[in-house]
């Protein structure tokens, strides 16, 4: 019989750990990868764009099921959600960015600490370049990879250009970054909240679930249920 998995331990209120022994050294890592929606930022951008055309509930239901891992074909689900955005004015993207998008607590502090310790900072998102590139610049991150919404005549076409960034692509972006840096993937940290973050979290040396879905909390080495992203720093020497 396989032994039952050890439950995660509460390191501090709202901060759980498993399979690691703090204190850790931040400078022992060479890269840190972040999901964007509901991780670095407070919203799911696609839900907020859909709100502009009265389809938020329809799109949000697909988003939620996908994040819980009930829908495993992320590419198919993203394509379906984006198709619902056909005809949305491109200005709606700027409106969402200006009026609804908030950086999550502790994100600047964690990113600044990581950069100060010599880590390369990566944003990798199943969301959209319009937001990801702005968030990258706002937080002073090194690079971002996400999906490009097609716009024609000032309107969204309901299509994504190029290859869709899904869970496998997130993992590959992290692996390629580690190869470029000449480090082992176990010298990377991966931070996320949803099912499509699990593959990149699985190849990293330190996986962090931030206010995450149950499936992600089960597998992550660090789970932040209360407070900001900078709670990761409580585990560092």
CATH number of the domain bearing residue 152: 3.40.50.1000
Active site residue 37: yes
Given a cut of 60, whether residue 3 has pLDDT beyond it is no
Given a cut of 70, whether residue 97 has pLDDT beyond it is yes
pLDDT digits (tens, 9 = 90+) for 140-168: 999 999 999 999 999 999 999 999 999 99
| Residue 89 within any structural domain of the chain | yes
| Residue 216 within any structural domain of the chain | yes
Active site residue 35: yes
| Residue 2 within any structural domain of the chain | no
Structure tokens at 209: 């679930």
pLDDT digits (tens, 9 = 90+) for 10-56: 999 999 999 999 999 999 999 999 999 999 999 999 999 998 888 89
DSSP line for the chain: -PPPPPPPEEEETTEEE-S--SPB-GGG--EEEE-TBTTTBSS-HHHHHHHTTT-HHHHHHHHHHHHTTS---HHHHHHHHHHTTTT-BTHHHHHHHHHT--BPTTHHHHHHHHHHTT-EEEEEEEEEHHHHHHHHHHHT-SEEEEEEEEEETTEEEEEEESS---HHHHHHHHHHHHHHHT--GGGEEEEESSGGGHHHHHHSSEEEEES--HHHHHH-SEEE-SS-GGGGGGGB-
pLDDT digits (tens, 9 = 90+) for 54-94: 889 988 888 888 878 887 788 988 998 999 999 999 999 99
> Residue range 160-184: average pLDDT?
97
| Residue 189 within any structural domain of the chain | yes
Question: What is the domain count for the chain?
Answer: 1
| Residue 1 within any structural domain of the chain | no
The mean predicted confidence, pLDDT, of the chain is 94
pLDDT digits (tens, 9 = 90+) for 193-236: 999 999 999 999 999 999 999 999 999 999 999 999 999 999 99
| Residue 78 within any structural domain of the chain | yes
Cα end-to-end distance, the chain, whole Å: 38
Give the domain extent around 146.
9-235
């Amino acid at each position: 019989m396989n032994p039952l998995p050890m439950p995660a331990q509460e390191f501090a209120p709202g901060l759980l750990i498993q399979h690691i022994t703090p204190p850790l050294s931040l400078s022992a890592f060479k890269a840190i990868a972040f999901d964007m929606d509901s991780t670095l930022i407070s919203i799911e951008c696609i839900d907020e764009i859909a709100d502009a055309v009265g389809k938020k509930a329809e799109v949000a239901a697909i988003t939620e099921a996908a994040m819980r891992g009930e829908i495993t074909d992320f590419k198919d689900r993203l394509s379906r959600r984006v198709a619902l955005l056909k005809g949305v004015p491109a200005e709606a993207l700027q409106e969402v960015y200006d009026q609804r998008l908030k950086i999550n607590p502790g994100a600047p502090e964690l990113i600044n600490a990581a950069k100060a310790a010599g880590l390369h900072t990566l944003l990798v998102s199943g969301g959209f370049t319009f937001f990801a590139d702005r968030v990258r610049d706002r937080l002073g991150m090194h690079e971002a990879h996400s999906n490009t919404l097609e716009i024609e005549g000032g309107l969204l076409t309901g299509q994504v250009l190029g290859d869709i960034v899904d869970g496998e692509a997130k993992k590959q972006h992290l692996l390629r970054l580690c190869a470029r840096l000449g480090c082992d993937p176990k010298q990377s940290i991966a931070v996320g909240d949803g099912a499509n973050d699990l593959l990149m979290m699985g190849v990293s040396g330190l996986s962090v679930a931030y206010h995450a879905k149950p499936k992600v909390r089960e597998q992550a080495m660090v789970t932040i249920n209360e407070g900001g992203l900078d709670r990761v720093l409580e585990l560092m020497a």
